[in-house]
Structure 1
């Protein structure tokens, strides 16, 4: 599990092939009048590709991350030129104005918010480009959205798809710890309120279109928040891990129809659980197996990153997230 130049180039070529592919497109768009019936590119002059807004965002995170890791990669000039073309102050002003519409209160909440903050954090690593400066107003808008949302949300959403609360909180913390410590504290407070007392959970996963483990994302978040002894908390949360249970957290799954966008999510379920296990780490005290669970889960789906478009428009981002976590831990 590594991001060598060959794999990085494969990821980059895959993302470059769709970040400007406008159609097919699945909009998250509430219309207030006939005037709002516009094309994806008119509504979103930056993130109009990759089938949907959030996939375009995290595909750009992938591209900028690869550009930073391997600046001499043959695909880097194309990444840079395309970012210069799209990441303008004018284009991001349109994206920000869209997010501020009254009808956009729930736009991409919270999954797209989290990935956008992750993208802004990555863009901020390049001081030579104005990209992060142009992105920041929208990042701040989503941070404000997070504050309002967390204060109003009575219960966390535990689904294994886009509305999952713990996943988005975990991803957003990376940005908040750098740009908004008050938001980081609020995310931590919310995590403690909802999850500190969780004991002996009995997950039944996955549902038919999950790409996240609702169980493991909570554990990742609690480790990231770091306010309780994690190994002790995890032992109470999932007390049977030492016996290899529940198996649904370990066993790879196989989609029956990868051309169906929802069913194709299951490849993401494999790879995102690999990321989860890497972040949870040795605190899990797992029983001896053929190898670390993240390896089997990752290997089960990594070949799908550039196959059917229903996977290729998003799956490589999760693969890169997983690889980077693995390299950091090893």
Structure 2
């Protein structure tokens, strides 16, 4: 009798787990059909000979495929990331597949403002131009922790690090105009709320908090895009994008069960890194977006975004607080 009851509960538990999985799969399929009914493809044949492009996180995933495409168009491409070994493999891979030997690695840790400042100083003294800056590097699925700069690590890597890097490279971008700044955000920004008071505060550990922090960092990316677009001179543009849901290792630090579910869903429903890089590439090279600034793109087209990003007061407050937190001088 006891054994039968045990089997009964096991069967009920399995049915419950299967039901939950099917609900998640159905929801993911609905989002897939709603958000990505057609995969956008960059159709531009523009060459980039003589141009210099910098791709953060260009050693893997979307960043790697972006760097590969820009190199195939003849650009000098710099991959900026922490992992020298993986970067060396990426550089060799890109050179072998494109025939372009002007691909380099420079160390950069966006979780350390000291590293960002050193990178910018070295870049500005070593290179005479910067035509395309792709703020691609990001992280997710990390437990809440402070960086040495006193900021949540996901917020710093996904937002503050890129914010500081771009501002430190602005003079080079302006001197090289027409030039473009691309910021990889996410559709998940729609679920975030941002208060200036909690920009760098920590929440409790756990998956809901991890997703909340990730979403908040991506909303900040869009707010920053809006603020920067108002300040750039003619000839320098900045736009943000959602690459689609792509199977990369960005969520590699999720708990094992959650990671397996994510990987299954990605295998069935979502994009390869090459497909996920198309909107980024489009913003880097497409003729039709020359002069376009402060917009949000999906599938190589302008897309709707959270109304919070149109709150001018919030945009300015976050911009000013971000200048303060990165110790940058105030800008108009």
Q: TM-score range by the shorter chain?
A: under 0.3
Relative to total residues, which structure has the larger helix share, 1 or 2?
A: 1
Bigger radius of gyration = 2
Relative to total residues, which structure has the larger strand share, 1 or 2?
A: 2
TM-score after normalising by structure 2: 0.28
TM-score after normalising by structure 1: 0.28
